[in-house]
Amino acid sequence: MSNPAINEPEKLIPLHGGYRKLKSFQIAQLAYDVTVRFCDRFIEKRSRTHDQMVQAARSGVQNIAEGSQASGTSKKTELKLTNVARASLEELRLDYEDYLRQRGLAQWAPDHPALVRFKAKRCATLEQVRAWVQEERRGKTQTDTDRQRPGKPGKPSVPASVPASVPSSVQVRVSPCESVSSAQLVANAALSLLNLACHLLNKQIAAQEKAFLEEGGFTERLYRVRSERRNRA
């Protein structure tokens, strides 16, 4: 049985856009929201750093969207703008690292317990990030609950939302992060988001590069579509 998609003629302008479904866009947008809040709270509003961090975060989001939209007529433009987005988020990542270093605050490794808990939450909104900060400051996590497992009194149950790979020593917290400021928590959370966004964009750029080399751009597609129509005539 023949596949209809195989016999379907190539479109001059293929489906494009759809950037809101890209994980890289979603993570970059959350990093943007976190950055706006972070800068308003912890960076002098009249400083260049404040504006530069917000603009770098915005550039990351906007260029992912613009590149996705431009892909219908120019794979070259898509690749270029995705690279711009990646560069902007790298700039923002350096700003957060500078903030921590210049204030003598620790930059946490990816396996730091607080970051493991942060990643387990899979935050999708600024409010969820803020809730995580509050939990860390109070010393509470998802597993701090009075619920008991049936037949096992005294042992707290572990919610299904916490991955099994997260060690029990990380899941349960009994003392608050009194020595850790909200700024340090948010900066490290933002770096975690940016690390993921940059990783996803690296993969996205590699895929776009491959597609461009194998399929060409708009000019090549125009030639193929014209040739196909002449052959069908």
133, 162 in Cβ contact below 8 A? no
Range 213-217 average pLDDT: 67
Q: Which of 107, 108, 96 is nearest to 170 (CA)?
A: 108
pLDDT for 164: 46
Count Cβ atoms within 10 A of the Cβ of residue 46 and give its class: 0-12 exposed, 13-18 middle, 19 or more buried.
exposed
Of residues 215 and 104, more confidently modeled: 104
- Segment 191-194 long-range contacts (CB within 8 Å, at least 24 positions apart): 191/93, 191/96, 191/97, 191/107, 192/110, 192/115, 192/118, 192/119, 193/27, 193/30, 193/31, 193/34, 194/31, 194/89, 194/92, 194/93, 194/96
pLDDT for 229: 59
pLDDT for 176: 55
Domain ranges of the chain: 16-108+181-232
pLDDT digits (tens, 9 = 90+) for 142-178: 444 433 344 444 444 333 334 444 454 444 443 455 5
Please report where in the chains the tokens 């129509």 appear, as a residue. 229
pLDDT digits (tens, 9 = 90+) for 48-85: 999 999 999 999 999 999 999 887 678 888 999 999 99
Residue 21 has pLDDT above 70, yes or no: yes
User: Domain 16-108+181-232 is classified in which CATH homologous superfamily?
Assistant: 23S rRNA-intervening sequence (1.20.1440.60)
pLDDT for 11: 54
Range 116-131 average pLDDT: 97
